[in-house]
């Protein structure tokens, strides 16, 4: 089975999410990005409880592309400390996981 990651990040709005998602896919850092609008985040930040409307991004990639993907998210992310969490995908449809590996091959980078 192909090694695959699901990377989660939240951004402040759909415009940021769409621009970032498009860059990740265009640079083959991600095979697919799902943009999920209208999440509400409640968290501690610098000693205060904050609440914000955010957009969640689900990014499918491979461990080989993770470092570049993280750098691109950090570059295009407006938050001082963005949430970037990578989870291993331990099972999935082999054809889909193979597609992710194929679409994120570095030698295809444009």
The pLDDT tens digits for 17-30 are 999 999 999 999 99
The total of other beta-carbon atoms located within 10 Å of residue 70's CB is 17
- The whole-angstrom separation of Cα 60 and Cα 38 is 20
Query: Model pTM greater than 0.85?
Result: yes
Domains of the chain: 5-108 (3.30.70.120)
Q: What is the mean pLDDT of residues 71-75?
A: 96
d(CA 57, CA 59): 6
How do residues 10-20 score in pLDDT, each as one tens digit? 999 999 999 99
């Amino acid at each position: 089975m192909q090694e695959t990651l699901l990377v989660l990040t939240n951004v402040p709005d759909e415009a940021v999410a769409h621009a970032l998602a498009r860059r990740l896919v265009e640079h083959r850092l991600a095979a697919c990005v799902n943009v999920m609008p209208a999440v509400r985040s409640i968290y501690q930040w610098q000693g205060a409880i904050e609440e914000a409307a955010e957009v969640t991004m689900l990014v499918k990639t491979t461990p080989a592309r993770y470092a570049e993907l993280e750098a691109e998210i950090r570059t295009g992310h407006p938050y001082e400390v963005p949430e970037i969490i990578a989870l291993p995908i331990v099972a999935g449809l082999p054809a889909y996981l193979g597609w992710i590996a194929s679409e994120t091959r570095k030698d295809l980078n444009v």
